């Protein structure tokens, strides 16, 4: 029970990796606010699973690219669990679509950057005043931020590279306050993200090129998230941790 009596917010916490992270933190004692924007059915299922296991959690719908809704998310968390927030997992994000450079317009560029970078900025800025020494922020970058991404993913990869740099900057800025900031860089994880954006033949090719010869599982990413959130990582900050089966060695 590493997170007993600790309060966590997981943005995008209702499905896939987000669900696994929410379940993991709750299973180890955290009081979890599960944020979602669109998929209420999946979020409700995640909440029900936690409550059935006698964990503590609430749901809150918020578009975390909008400051007013971010403030509402923080207020709802505090109303349920108290003023202090110990763990923030900035998991909300997405690719939106695969587009070549000549297919992209300004609105698409802004949408992807807002979804992946602005959301982490707004959430971090809102949560930090309610954190103290020993608390932790975990951002979600991507293997794409390391290698530039696959076809049509240039702006997604760019946004995830920005998340990696933001992580390093915040680690320096917040370190004197005792707040740790790290990020995860998942590779090919078996989720609806790749069901939507990656063709089956490409997934098989990537899995075959991975030293461990398979895709990752959401639960494995959740384990890494819990490590970074825990006291076991008390002297770890500013790290962009790869979870990719050895596909890319940074």
- b/e 13-49 (16+ beta carbons within 10 angstroms → b): bbbbbbbbbbbbbbbbebbbbbbbbebeebbeebbeb
- The two three-digit tokens of residue 76, written as one number: 């709802």
Question: What pairs with residue 140 in β-bridges?
Answer: 184
The crossing angle, in degrees rounded to 10, of helices 154-174 and 119-127 is 20
- Extended strands (E) in 62-177: 87-90, 136-140
CA angle 117, 218, 205 (to 5 degrees): 90
User: Could you say which of 3, 81, 156, 193 is catalytic?
Assistant: 156
156 as an active site residue: the answer is: yes
Q: CA-CA distance, 86 to 131, in Å (whole number)?
A: 6
CB 33 within 8 A of CB 78: no
Q: Which residues are catalytic?
A: 156
């Amino acid at each position: 029970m590493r997170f007993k009596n600790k309060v966590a917010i997981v943005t995008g916490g209702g499905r896939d990796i987000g669900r696994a992270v929410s379940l993991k933190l709750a299973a180890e004692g955290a009081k979890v606010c599960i944020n979602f924007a669109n998929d209420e059915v999946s979020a409700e299922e995640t909440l029900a699973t936690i409550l059935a296991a006698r964990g503590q959690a609430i749901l809150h719908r918020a578009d975390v690219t909008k400051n007013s809704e971010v403030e509402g998310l923080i207020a709802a968390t505090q109303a349920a669990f108290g003023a202090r927030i110990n763990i923030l997992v900035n998991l909300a994000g997405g690719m939106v679509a695969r587009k070549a450079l000549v297919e992209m317009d300004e609105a698409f560029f802004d949408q992807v950057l807002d979804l992946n970078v602005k959301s982490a900025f707004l959430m971090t800025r809102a949560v930090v005043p309610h954190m103290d020494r020993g608390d932790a922020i975990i951002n979600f970058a991507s293997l794409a931020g390391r290698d530039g991404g696959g076809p049509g993913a240039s702006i997604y990869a760019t946004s995830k590279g920005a998340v990696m740099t933001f992580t390093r900057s915040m680690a320096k800025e917040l370190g004197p306050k005792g707040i740790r900031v790290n990020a995860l860089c998942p590779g090919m994880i078996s989720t609806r993200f790749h069901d939507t954006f990656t063709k089956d033949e490409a997934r098989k090719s990537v899995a075959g090129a991975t030293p461990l010869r398979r895709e990752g599982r959401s639960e494995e990413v959740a384990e890494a998230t819990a490590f970074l959130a825990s006291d076991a990582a008390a002297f770890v900050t500013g790290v962009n941790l790869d979870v990719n089966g050895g596909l890319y060695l940074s």
